[in-house]
Structure 1
């Protein structure tokens, strides 16, 4: 049993938390500098900062030589990484997150050359134009899971495909390169909670459940990767994310012009899940989230539901003003890229730091980044008005 106090500093904020007697680890948070990391055109890695190299090496050894797991930043959100080949490592991911075991994991790589070496499969031709444009980056593809694959069946949830991604964040990529194993890494949050875009978010959810968090600053994209299935005919967009549907059609060319968007599966569905985000409630803070398309309906909702004694917040974006709203008003940003980057961060801030009861969020249209934004908001929201 662990009975101690852990003192951490995140961006000048002091955070004192007493470890639960049921905690498994004293969670260590190590700083890493993404600007000190470089990959050349031949995927050779150099790290100029000795402390960053030391901390990355420590995390990589955890992944490659043990069954423990590590949280780390990517350009999308913070990930909770384990060895995709190791059953016990994957079990530790599911345990830490309290994640349903039929929800498969994305395996992350550090170079395209790892695909044939680690998975014993060649990259399908249909993905090549998209990968040339969006890798490294927030795009996940499905490749065949062949009988001689070393991938854990727990990583794929027993599926005949493997979801893989090559992240662009230098810390994520360097960690995977040093570990030299595919790193299964869902978002580093408790299951159903808003995804983490800062190390402090990870610590809030998983303190005592993971041994190590690499703190490399905030994630830029703010929502998870786009997941596509080019093995189906026509191809399928399984989860909208950092690469838009419009970009996939434009860059993918003729083979991707008829790409269809998969529907979310019901939580009680028996249909196999090909990728994260197709099933189960996601991204929800403790506060009740109300998705709003018409600002004039908010005051009526507050009156009907007698919320005048509740702590309320409104997140605006492109059109709402919030002038008559009696509560906290904050902006997600004027562009969809800004909304995407700020969404999870502000949901967590209002919920965890300001303890609001209800969060009203302005909806956006589904063009470009809007499809991914609305996908996340519809899963987080209890109601739409």
Structure 2
């Protein structure tokens, strides 16, 4: 993990007004929380490319601390972003804005000296790819905000202490944070397949979807080949959680990006969804309904046809959360293998090989 830049030296981000209309959320799961009715914040003029989402009630509670909170979270996000590495925050925001990409800080809850929410860097809209995003928890200590982004040590510490994290969510997220996995390690084809703790493919068991993209990087370009694309099938296009865990709608109400943190060291991302359920740190069951396949690009990227972009994440030994390798791992009863090129990889099960264009049944064993 790169060292954090000094917020005061680099960037002063004021809270901006953001008029947002809450999209209707269909009641796909009774346990899902109500979407916030208002996402507007107090007036201000952040640098071009920075968007702040903050319900008016939360903005009022934060008062003069709003700017400092957004400063701290923005700096951490840019220090973690692959596309902003090595740049001062102000320069990074300017460069991303030149590409039509936003840095988004969404403040969803506050209590005393604590705040939590979601932050992300949009993907390019001119090429296939996916955004970079993190849950965050921030604590005000000695007059300054200390944020922890999902995957770093501060996040794990804040999860243990923050009153904004419920008991069930804390158990799941602590188990996730304390799992030390090395994303660079590769499973050996000759050895036992890497354990993913029973993760399923993202639809109902014993139904099928068509594999449209084999193992590839989350952004379609660099990094571990962590992702698969699926479409069609006999599951009515409904996308479901790969396992039980804690779900968060990364783009907010109506957005097509959901992340589920599972017990045991893994989390999964689901992008391009349509007709989504709104979740905000919500405990869900295995195969909980998340939405339908779609072409949503709420956080950038592109999609040429309705599908779900599914990606596997974990933590390394330094608590650096990142997308991880699929090669040799079993998901939905299929062992997944890299191809010679991105998107060309296949799955194997019981002597059957399924490559892109093949209908694949989701199996529990």
- Report which of the two has the higher share of strand: 2
Bigger Cα Rg: 1
Using structure 2 for the length normalisation, give the TM-score.
Answer: 0.28
